[in-house]
Amino acid sequence: MDFGLNEIGEILKKSARDFLIAECPKSYIKEMAKDEKGYRPEIWRKMADLGWMGLMFPQKYGGGEGSFLDLVVLLEEMGRACLPGPFFSTVLLGGMTILDAGNEKQKSELLPLIAQGKLIVTMALLEPHSTYSEENIKMEAIDSSDSYMITGTKLFVPDAHVSDYIICAARNKSRLTNKDGISLFLVDTKSPGIKTTLLKTLAGDKQCEVRFEKVKMSRESILGELHRGWPCVQRIIHKAAISKCAEMIGGAQQVLEMTVDYVKQRIQFGRPIGSFQSIQNYCVQMLTDVETSRFITYQAAWKISEGLPYANDVAMAKAWVSDAYRRVVTLGHQCFGGTAYMEDHSLHLYLTRAKAAELAFGDADFHRESLALGMGL
């Protein structure tokens, strides 16, 4: 079995790395963590010109006809660079949901704008005291003749403060079963009744609380079938989880390389610390975690690209990679010593992102539980 990239994948990987080295130095990442917007529009436009926003979209919508596996290659490089900005929310949570559930009018109007970098979209799922499960969608969308009135609060909505649209999951009829009562609404963020509050986060990423107070939505704003939105949400959560794994692999690979370079140069007791067995063991464990994470993630991504069943592969990958990335960063800190715990050190960026990514789209325990349920346990 060949796990290597094809020629297109190699070109994409190299061009992405070259671009991110030039445009996304660590100084930029730290600056954007403190910046309210969280990204620079000029870099966003350059990414759009490279075709990254529309990589997975069909050509008729201005896309590049790429596969999900191509997107994973790109996201690994973004994770390696700790790229800030609304790419993940716009392309994964927004664009892929519209491509999956939208009607032809919605797709032809919105996807070309996303591909051109002219539209930022995100998805609002989580609510207070909730997880990524259908029974925890409590926000109500009350039927009002020709429209719906949405009221409720969504938490940890990525990049909502800069988004043009929010795809919001709301429950239309509480009397229906958990899976059958949920619809997806495409909400214009300029609509009356929406209040967005930027939250303070560990990793400096832009997560928001979004309050909806009797926000009026037309029936044309519904994505997909009325009351049948949850299957689409599940598919997006699975794809987003694997996409987050790809980012984590990129970060873990960079931590490994930083650590190996350091232990070769750091002299203690008259010799490089990399010559000590304990440090060698740490580095080998890091390498093992990085490579196993890559294999399990790319296998799941390949199944998604090929249209094969992938739910269990996604759960195994997210559970494993979430733990593995944390182990890699922890061992990196052990090798670097106290200096790496300073915020000015680059390793600190990967520590905070490892924790944020671990929780996104279900932590390890969440996915292990879903696997156990699938085994009848």
The CATH classification number of 7-119 equals 1.10.540.10
What is the second-level CATH architecture of the domain 231-374? Up-down Bundle (1.20)
Q: Residue 4 to residues 10, 69, 295, 305: CA-CA distances in angstroms? A: 9, 12, 10, 15
Q: Are strands 165-171 and 121-124 parallel, antiparallel or unpaired?
A: parallel
Domain with CATH 1.20.140.10 in the chain: 231-374
Residue 68: CB partners within 8 Å, gap ≥ 6?
Answer: 56, 239, 301, 304, 305
Does domain 123-228 sit in CATH 2.40.110.10? yes
Instruction: List 335's β-bridge partners, or say none.
Output: none
Domain with CATH 1.10.540.10 in the chain: 7-119
Domain with CATH 2.40.110.10 in the chain: 123-228
* Cα(167)–Cα(98) distance, integer angstroms: 9
Q: What's the pTM? A: 0.94
Q: Are strands 182-188 and 140-144 parallel, antiparallel or unpaired?
A: unpaired
Residue 134: CB partners within 8 Å, gap ≥ 6?
Answer: 178, 179, 182, 230, 233
* Cα(183)–Cα(132) distance, integer angstroms: 15
* Cα(25)–Cα(4) distance, integer angstroms: 28
The pLDDT tens digits along the chain (377 residues) read 566 788 888 999 999 999 999 999 999 999 999 999 999 999 999 999 999 999 999 999 999 999 999 999 999 999 999 999 999 999 999 999 999 999 999 999 999 999 999 999 999 999 987 788 888 888 988 887 788 999 999 999 999 999 999 999 998 766 556 667 899 999 999 999 999 999 999 888 999 999 999 999 998 999 988 888 999 999 999 999 999 999 999 999 999 999 999 999 998 999 999 999 999 999 999 999 999 999 999 999 999 999 999 999 999 999 999 999 999 999 999 999 888 888 788 898 999 999 999 999 999 999 999 999 888 88
